[in-house]
Amino acid sequence: MFALPLTDSAVLRPLDPWQAEEFLAHMDRAREHIVPWVSPSFVARDLGEARQVLQRFADKRAQDGGGIWGIWLDGVLVGGVMFVSFDAALGVCEAGCWLEPGAQGRGLITRATQQIIDWAVDERGIVRVEWRTNPRNERSIAVAQRLGMSRDGTLRQVFRHDAGGRIDLDIWSVLADEWRGRRAGRPDPLTPRSIESSDLKAEIEGLMATFLGAFANPGGTRPNVEAIYEVFVPEGMIITNVGGTPVIYDLRQFVEPREKILTDGTLTEFREWETSETTEIYGSIAHRFSEYRKSGYLNGEWFEGRGMKTTQFVKTLSGWKMSSLAWDDEPTLRPATTSA
C-alpha cells in the first residue's frame, strides 16, 4: 500500500473498509468537531456505520467516481481528504476534507489536498476541481484560499439543517491551468524550512479566516463577533482609512456597532473573503497584505465591494495573534462599505 509523505511525521494513504475500527476510533475523537460541517452519513457512530462509510468510498473508487485517503500523524489516523465526486469524462471533480482538532495548524489538509489535485489534473485530465463548504466554515474556506481557488458563488438554502432551517453552500474552484501556474512556485513540502513556514502560515491564515468569518450572517445566522477578541491581542487596533481620514478603533469600539447592524436587520447576508494575499514571516512577527471582497444587503439593497487589508501579527505565549489591521476600499465602492 502506498504512502505519500506530507511532513516528516505525517503520511497520506488510502483509507479502506478493513480499517473501519481505526476510522471509528478517529471519529470518536473528531465527531463533535466535524458534525456541524460534514454530511451526517459520514459521521459513523458504530463499527457497522464506519464500514459502510468506507465501503461507499471504495465503491466510488471502483466505479471511478470518487475516493478517500487518510492522514496519519505519528502513526495515528487524524483526518483525511476525498473526492466526493469524480467525473473524468466531464473533467470535473469535487474535493473535500476533515480533520480532528488535535492535528490542526500543521498544514496537513492543504498538503494532502495538493497531492490528490496533482493526481487528478496530471494523471486523469481533470479540468475543474470544486470545493463546496458551509459559508460559516472558516477553516474550510481558508483551505480553499490556500489552494488558490476562486469563490464562484453561493447555492442558497440548498440543504436542510438538522436543527431546523436550511443551509447555504459556497462553491469554490480551481482550473487546471490555474493549478499548474500556482504549482510552479510551490515550495518542496518536505524541506525543513518549507515545513516550518507552511505551518506558521497555516496558523496565521486560520486567524485571518476567523476574523473575516466573524461578521458573516448568511441565512439570518448570528455573527460570531466575539471571535475578534480571541484572534487579537487585548490591546489590538483596527483602522479604517476609507476616504483618506483614518478612524482608529480599539477592539470593543470596532465590534459593538458592527454587531448591532449585523443583528438588527440593517446588514444581512453579509460575508467577506480574501481573493489574494502576500504573507511575510520573520521570527515572532508577521505581516499579511490581502485583497478582499465583500457582499450583502445594506438596508435591503444588494451591494458588493472590494479593497485591501494590511494585517500585523505577533507571536505570543499562547500562539500567533493579530496586533493591528487597517483597510481601504476602492473609491467607486466606498458608499456601500460598512464593515471590516
Q: pLDDT at position 333, please?
A: 47
User: 236: closest CA among 176, 166, 320, 317?
Assistant: 320
pTM attached to this predicted model: 0.61
Question: Residue 336: what pLDDT?
Answer: 41
Domain spanning 4-190 has what CATH number? 3.40.630.30
- 153: which strand partners? 171
Residue 161's pLDDT is what? 67
For residue 87, the tally of other CB atoms under 10 A from its CB is: 15
What pLDDT, on a 0 to 100 scale, did the predictor assign at position 11? 93
For residue 208, which amino acid is it? M
Per CATH, the architecture of 212-336 is what?
Roll (3.10)
Beta-strand runs (E) in the chain = 4-5, 10-14, 67-73, 76-87, 92-99, 128-133, 150-160, 166-175, 232-240, 247-250, 267-282, 285-298, 301-316, 319-329
Where do the domains of the chain lie? 4-190, 212-336
pLDDT score, position 273: 86
Q: What is the pLDDT of residue 22?
A: 96
For 222-277, the pLDDT digits (tens) are 888 999 999 999 999 999 998 778 999 999 999 999 999 999 999 999 988 888 88
Grid cell, residue 224, equals 460570531
Length of the chain: 340
- Ranges of residues in the chain whose predicted pLDDT is under 50: 189-196, 333-340
